[in-house]
C-alpha cells in the first residue's frame, strides 16, 4: 500500500547534512510547505490521478470513527492519516507553539499506516500542509467524530478546527460527526462522508468555505437523506463540580448533563433530530454583519485625556 505511506522523498526527509558532515548548521533544516495540490474541481471521472485526501480527527488516532472515515474515502481517493496521539476533543483551534511536536508511525486497526502527533488536530493538519508528507492534498476530511458538533459546538470542536486549518491552508475541507445513541453504527456516516467528499472534489469550495456535516444515529435505510442547514443554538448544561483531592485540597471538574439544543426549522439541530444528515456551510469570515452596521453609531473616539498621557 505505497499510497498509504508517507512519501519518504519529501524535501523535509532529506538528511540535514551530507554523510560525514561536520558541525550542525546554524540554520536548522526546514521542511518545505506543500499547499493544496490542484484545487480544480471537476468530475472524478476526469481526474488524471486519484485525489489525495488527508484524514484526521480530534478523538485520537485509535478512534474507530477515524478508521471508518479513512476506509470510506479510500473508495474515491488515496488516503493519508495523521491524527492526535490522544483524545483532543473540545480543544478548538489550538496550535502548539511553546514545545516541540513528535510524529510517530501508528498502525490503524485495519493494519494500514497512519501517523500520530502529540499535539492538537490543528497541529496534525498544519504538519501535513507544511510539508511532512512532501506533497499537498486535494481534500481534508476530519472525523468521524464521536458525538455531533452542532450550533455553538463549532467554537469548541477540534474536529471542525482541523477542517478549518485545511481551509486556511487553501485546501477544501469538511468535518463529519456522528450522533451517539447506544452502540455506534458508522455505516450512515461513512456513506455521508463519501457523498460529501465526492461533491467537494467535483464542485469545489470557495476561499474560506468549509462544510460541517452531522449524522443522526440511524442505520442508512432509516435516514431521511441530506438537509442543507444553518447553525442552530446549543443549550449547555455544564456544572462546576467541586471535590477534594486525597490531600484535602479542592479541585474542579466541568461536568453536568449532556447539552441539548434548540431545534428551530432550518437548523442543524432540527435536521438531525428529524433523522436527516445536516450539511452546514461555514465561512471563516466571522465578522458580525449586523453589528458591523451598528458599530459606526457608537461613541468610539479616543478621549482628549488620552493625548495627554
The piece of 16-24, 25-33, 51-59, 189-197 that touches Mn ion (CB under 5 A) is 51-59
Residue from 145, 167, 229, 280 touching Mn ion (CB under 5 A): that is 145
Choice between 34 and 89, CB closer to Mn ion? 89
Question: Closest approach of Cβ 231 to Mn ion, in Å?
Answer: 18
**Total site size for Mn ion, rule CB under 5 A:** 4
Residue nearest to Mn ion (CB): 89
59 lies in the binding site for Mn ion (CB under 5 A)? yes
56 lies in the binding site for Mn ion (CB under 5 A)? no
153 lies in the binding site for Mn ion (CB under 5 A)? no
What 3 state SS string does 226-257 have?
A: EEECECCEEECCEEEEEEECCCCCEEEEEEEC
The piece of 45-53, 81-89, 276-284, 286-294 that touches Mn ion (CB under 5 A) is 81-89
Question: Closest approach of Cβ 143 to Mn ion, in Å?
Answer: 8
CA distance linking residue 197 with residue 220, whole number of Å: 18
Choice between 59 and 227, CB closer to Mn ion? 59
89 lies in the binding site for Mn ion (CB under 5 A)? yes
| Bridge partners, residue 242, by sequence | 252
* Beta-strand pair 113-117/233-235: unpaired
CA distance linking residue 195 with residue 29, whole number of Å: 40
Choice between 159 and 167, CB closer to Mn ion? 159
**Environment class of 304 (CB within 10 Å of its CB; exposed 0-12, middle 13-18, buried 19+):** exposed
Choice between 144 and 201, CB closer to Mn ion? 144
- Cα-based distances in Å from 4 to 55, 74, 133, 270, 273: 11, 10, 11, 38, 37
Helix (H) or strand (E) holding 68: helix 64-73
Question: Closest approach of Cβ 287 to Mn ion, in Å?
Answer: 28
The piece of 50-58, 74-82, 101-109, 222-230 that touches Mn ion (CB under 5 A) is 50-58
Place of cell 455544564: 238
Question: Closest approach of Cβ 59 to Mn ion, in Å?
Answer: 4
Question: Closest approach of Cβ 235 to Mn ion, in Å?
Answer: 19
| Bridge partners, residue 279, by sequence | 213, 228
58 lies in the binding site for Mn ion (CB under 5 A)? yes
212 lies in the binding site for Mn ion (CB under 5 A)? no
What is residue 106's DSSP assignment? E
227 lies in the binding site for Mn ion (CB under 5 A)? no
Question: Closest approach of Cβ 114 to Mn ion, in Å?
Answer: 17
- Cα-based distances in Å from 52 to 58, 89, 108: 20, 25, 19
Beta strands in the chain (DSSP E): 52-56, 78-84, 103-107, 113-117, 139-146, 173-178, 209-215, 226-228, 233-235, 238-244, 250-256, 260-262, 277-283
Choice between 36 and 81, CB closer to Mn ion? 81
The piece of 11-19, 71-79, 145-153, 185-193 that touches Mn ion (CB under 5 A) is 145-153
177 lies in the binding site for Mn ion (CB under 5 A)? no
123 lies in the binding site for Mn ion (CB under 5 A)? no
Q: Which residues bind Mn ion (CB under 5 A)?
A: 58-59, 89, 145
Amino acid at each position: 500500500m505505497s499510497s498509504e505511506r508517507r512519501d519518504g522523498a519529501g524535501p523535509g526527509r532529506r538528511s540535514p547534512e551530507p554523510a560525514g558532515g561536520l558541525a550542525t548548521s546554524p540554520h536548522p533544516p526546514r521542511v518545505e510547505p506543500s499547499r493544496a495540490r490542484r484545487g480544480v474541481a471537476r468530475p472524478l471521472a476526469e481526474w488524471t490521478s486519484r485525489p489525495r485526501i488527508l484524514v484526521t480527527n480530534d478523538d485520537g488516532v485509535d478512534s474507530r470513527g477515524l478508521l471508518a472515515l479513512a476506509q470510506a474515502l479510500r473508495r474515491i481517493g488515496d488516503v493519508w492519516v495523521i491524527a492526535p496521539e490522544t483524545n483532543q476533543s473540545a480543544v478548538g483551534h489550538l496550535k502548539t507553539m511553546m514545545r516541540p511536536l513528535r510524529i510517530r508511525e501508528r498502525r490503524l486497526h485495519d493494519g494500514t499506516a497512519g501517523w500520530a502527533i502529540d499535539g492538537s488536530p490543528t497541529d496534525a493538519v498544519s504538519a501535513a500542509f507544511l510539508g511532512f508528507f512532501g506533497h499537498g492534498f486535494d481534500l481534508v476530511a476530519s472525523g468521524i467524530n464521536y458525538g455531533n458538533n452542532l450550533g455553538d459546538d463549532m467554537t469548541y470542536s477540534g474536529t471542525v478546527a482541523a477542517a478549518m486549518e485545511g481551509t486556511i491552508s487553501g485546501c477544501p475541507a469538511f468535518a463529519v460527526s456522528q450522533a451517539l445513541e447506544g452502540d455506534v453504527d458508522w455505516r450512515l456516516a461513512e456513506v455521508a462522508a463519501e457523498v460529501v467528499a465526492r461533491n467537494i472534489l467535483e464542485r469545489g469550495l470557495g476561499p474560506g468555505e468549509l462544510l460541517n456535516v452531522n449524522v443522526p444515529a440511524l442505520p442508512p435505510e432509516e435516514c431521511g437523506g441530506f438537509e442543507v442547514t444553518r447553525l442552530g443554538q446549543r443549550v449547555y448544561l455544564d456544572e462546576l463540580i467541586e471535590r477534594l483531592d486525597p490531600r484535602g485540597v479542592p479541585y474542579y471538574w466541568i461536568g453536568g448533563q449532556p447539552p441539548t439544543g434548540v431545534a428551530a426549522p432550518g437548523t442543524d439541530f432540527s435536521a438531525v433530530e428529524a433523522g436527516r444528515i445536516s450539511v452546514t456551510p461555514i465561512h471563516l469570515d466571522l465578522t458580525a454583519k449586523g453589528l458591523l452596521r451598528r458599530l459606526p453609531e457608537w461613541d468610539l473616539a479616543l478621549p482628549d485625556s488620552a493625548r495627554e498621557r
